[in-house]
Structure 1
């Protein structure tokens, strides 16, 4: 006859009650820890404001600014949140640098052309005409030959950290092929800024027109050619409908967009958050440069197929004349400061090594 043993019911109940109490206590403690942790996380969130010079309609607003916003939020687990404002929301484009410098906002995006009164290297950053012929050359000049560091050093005088977003080409479209110097120097070309001055000095006629008038001016024959970025700009604005020749090499290749950060705000960030932000900006330079170049290639291929666009290369004698004319503008920029002189000397040496000078 087997004997069945039963647990002591009193002892069992005591153990069970103790287990429940301990479990409940553990849950409460854990919940308290989670609650404290959640409160601490909320308290540790850093919120910045960024004023961009891109309107929301610009592809760079999404591809550059919104991308960085998302990457930084993800990699910092939400500890750094950047609120972005499109062009003109808080300040005019040419006021953003001062706002960041004074710490009114923590970040911004600008074109270096907006700050030529402050940064003597801004003209070079905007793109000296007929210097580089390939995008990689400009990227190398910025990152390997020290130009980006020079820009950051000069911007630091204004309590600003400077980071170029990308480098990309400016290329023009024309209504007739260019087979000789005579063909080129008779052109009326819609342009702006330093490139307008360059084209006029070189022998063509640089004509400024607002973007809204470029298509009609080409269609009616007011101008013979124009530049609006490169292939992406020409395609999106319909210029290929009335100008079937896409001209290479570029008029310039430059880092005409940049992120700027208030240096004191950057220094106040926790070390790991600051490292993530700076690394994200450095990474973005390469990613956006390559992405933009990729989109240029596929857009131009699409324009050739769909719009009958033909790619033409300027004759060597025309390229040489343009280079000679461009160097006068290089010399003018070099006179702005010892730093600008150094940058132009580095540029000339590099182009000489590449066989362009």
Structure 2
């Protein structure tokens, strides 16, 4: 037995070493690390090219991944990066991707109400019209009802993007100037503009700039002026028509139902909050950009069609609405809602609608 009053150096090291190991195991226990296999990983493809995606979705996905803190990660892919855009809905349905951000119209969503995605002619005049129509006038319920009939796809949300104006290499100052123009357009609005002599063209988003440079396209009616500058189209067109055929693009978020069911409730709520944050962020960016580039942009010359003549286009749109209302009861209800909305906004007067509109 060792005398406590006469510890050798060896005894001291033994005792203190044992105590130190015990203390270390208590105070400095290894932190919990989530196993990689526990992380939910999604693949999300957007309609947008790289530069545009930086504005319209990437900030919200980055924030989701940061807050999810390893519990879930969303990998973001740009337009056509995983699958061609026209096949995106089918890819979502079969699980090739877990989520998408796009309009219903250009992804060939197999629902009757898909025509009201993207740019339904003159359905909106300002960005706020879209969330109000969806969340306060009943369009959202029509979309939910339609997508409930589709296997393995869950519709989540619709928000507003930019208006549909015309950036071209030929000036447009009258309706006559539309005749013969080959324009990159969304399906439904392209179908409508055929009434004025336009030839709508559908090609991959990333091919548009080259097509404008080579003359295969005369212009684009795919966005407002903010995206014309963002996408580089302002570098290869000359004129910008200030009249628009729709005040805001209606874009939606969808998820694969099987993937969605595997996500814990708190992460579902986080994803929905990030979607709402993205909707809010875009309202600011587009409202800023559409005015800023008209005034300070130096690449495009502004042209306009007189309001009295442009009224012809708007009147024709209401005929187009009535034709689309004949395609089914949900479409009829959507058109009825749009008419009620227009009537309310006009009667409300400024700032909701002005006499010239």
Range into which the TM-score falls when normalised by the shorter chain: 0.7 to 0.9
The CA distance in 2 between the partners of 1:177 and 1:45, in whole Å, is 53
Provide the residue aligned with 1:27 in structure 2.
24
Answer yes or no: is 1:172 the counterpart of 2:166.
Answer: yes
Answer yes or no: is 1:339 the counterpart of 2:330.
Answer: yes
The 5-angstrom pairing of residues 148-159 of structure 1 reads 148-158=140-150, 159=152
The 5-angstrom pairing of residues 104-119 of structure 1 reads 104-116=96-108, 118-119=110-111
The CA distance in 1 between the partners of 2:271 and 2:98, in whole Å, is 13
**Higher Cα Rg: structure 1 or 2?**
1
Provide the residue aligned with 1:147 in structure 2.
139
The CA distance in 1 between the partners of 2:56 and 2:220, in whole Å, is 26
Name structure 1 gaps, 5 residues minimum. Answer: 1-7
Q: Shift of residue 268 of structure 1?
A: 1.7
Provide the residue aligned with 1:247 in structure 2.
241
Q: Shift of residue 342 of structure 1?
A: 1.3
Answer yes or no: is 1:286 the counterpart of 2:280.
Answer: yes
Provide the residue aligned with 2:317 in structure 1.
326
Are the counterparts in 1 of residues 103 and 252 from structure 2 also a CA contact under 8 Å? Answer: yes
Q: Shift of residue 133 of structure 1?
A: 1.8
Q: Shift of residue 320 of structure 1?
A: 2.5
Provide the residue aligned with 2:349 in structure 1.
none
TM-score by length of structure 2 reads 0.78
Structure with more helix by fraction: 1
Q: Shift of residue 311 of structure 1?
A: 5.5
Q: Shift of residue 170 of structure 1?
A: 0.9
Moved over 6 A (4+): 13-20
The CA distance in 1 between the partners of 2:336 and 2:326, in whole Å, is 11
Provide the residue aligned with 1:61 in structure 2.
53
Are the counterparts in 2 of residues 169 and 250 from structure 1 also a CA contact under 8 Å? Answer: yes
1:213 is matched with which residue: 195, 211, 214?
211
The CA distance in 1 between the partners of 2:252 and 2:111, in whole Å, is 13
The CA distance in 1 between the partners of 2:326 and 2:138, in whole Å, is 19
Q: Shift of residue 115 of structure 1?
A: 4.5
Provide the residue aligned with 2:65 in structure 1.
73
1:276 is matched with which residue: 245, 270, 286?
270
RMSD (Å) for aligned C-alpha atoms: 3.4
Provide the residue aligned with 2:350 in structure 1.
none
Are the counterparts in 2 of residues 190 and 214 from structure 1 also a CA contact under 8 Å? Answer: no
The CA distance in 2 between the partners of 1:186 and 1:311, in whole Å, is 12
TM-score by length of structure 1 reads 0.78
Answer yes or no: is 1:100 the counterpart of 2:97.
Answer: no
- C-alpha change, 1:324 and 1:281, in structure 2 (3 Å) is same
Q: Number of paired residues?
A: 331
